[in-house]
Amino acid sequence: MKRSELTEFAVEEEGFKLKIRRGSNGLPLVNTSRGSNHPFYSSDTTPPIPLPAATPAASSPATPPKDDAGVAFIKSPMVGTFYRSASPESKPYADVDTKVVETSVVCIIEAMKIMNEIQAEAKGVILEVLVENGQPVEYGQRLFKIKQG
């Protein structure tokens, strides 16, 4: 939300409502409701819940205890479906040994029927593609391993 300068985001689908709003301390506040016809923040909905800050212990269990120097990871900025190319017939945006810069598009993540181009945000060479084409990804999940430089 900070990166996009969003202060509020709301989604409603089949009786489920989700509203995320940045609090005064910069942390997101989440409000959800199931099966209610009432507007957000009514007395019948769940009050906003501050999300906990990420902690180092919350990293994925497959994370190695120590990463190699000069190696970084391109991580997913959202939940969605990972695609390596713009279409099944197109060649992948990035493959092993592809040189990337901060603005290089490395993949697409489809979220809510919107195709989001994901940039490397780092300069280097792709060492490994960590996700299979068409697989669901989580926020913060490692997508590519790169050798910085």
In whole angstroms, what is the distance from residue 107 CA to residue 10 CA? 26
Structural domain boundaries, residue 93: 71-148
pLDDT per residue rounded down to tens, the chain (149 residues): 667 677 777 777 777 777 777 765 555 555 555 554 444 444 444 455 555 555 454 444 454 445 578 899 999 999 999 999 988 899 999 999 999 999 999 999 999 989 999 999 889 999 999 999 999 999 999 999 999 88
Burial class (CB in 10 A: 0-12, 13-18, 19+), 93: buried
- Whether residue 86 is found in the same domain as residue 140: yes
Per the confidence metrics, is the pTM higher than 0.85?
no
- Whether residue 79 is found in the same domain as residue 36: no
Is residue 95 situated within a structural domain?
A: yes
Output the DSSP codes for 17-84: EEEEEE-TTS-EEEEEEES--SPTTSTTSPPPEEPPPP-GGGS-TT--SSPPTTEEEEE-SSSEEEES
- Whether residue 78 is found in the same domain as residue 141: yes
- Whether residue 42 is found in the same domain as residue 76: no
pLDDT of residue 29: 54
